[in-house]
Amino acid sequence: MTPGGSEIARERIRRLHDLAREAAGDGNDERAREYVRRARRVAERNRLGLPRRFKRFTCDACDAYLRPSVNARVRLRDGHVVVTCDCGTQARYPYE
């Protein structure tokens, strides 16, 4: 591949993450989903991982960009955090 290909991909993912957060903050949930999905697709196509923050703030099931107490509930449990999306999907993360 030509130099820069995955650099552009990485930068694109970063920008899409920012756009998703911004759209979600403005209440444009479907637009946020489009950006989340595209970031996932770009990562997949270029064999890149997604930043931890991206993974924590997106729903694996419906691609929503999660805003705690707006479209997601965050509860602290013994040794882990449980994030519940409005769609019902739960994700568990250990404390960092």
Partner 1 sequence: MMPLTPETLPRHELAGLDVEVVAAANPDAIGIAGTVVTETTKTLGVEGTDRVWHVPKDAATFRFDLPAEGDSESQSVRVRGSNLVARPARRTEATGDSKWR
Measured CA to CA, the distance from residue 92 to residue 24 in angstroms comes to 22
Closest CB to partner 1 among residues 3, 88: 3
Residues 35, 20: contact at Cβ < 8 Å? yes
Token pair belonging to 55 = 């993974």
Site size toward partner 1 (CB under 8 A) is 23
With CB under 5 A as the contact rule, the residue among 9, 50, 62, 81 that binds Zn ion is 62
Q: Which of 19, 42, 59, 72 binds Zn ion (CB under 5 A)?
A: 59
CA distance 64 to 41: 15
The residues binding Zn ion (CB under 5 A) are: 59, 61-62, 64, 85, 87, 89
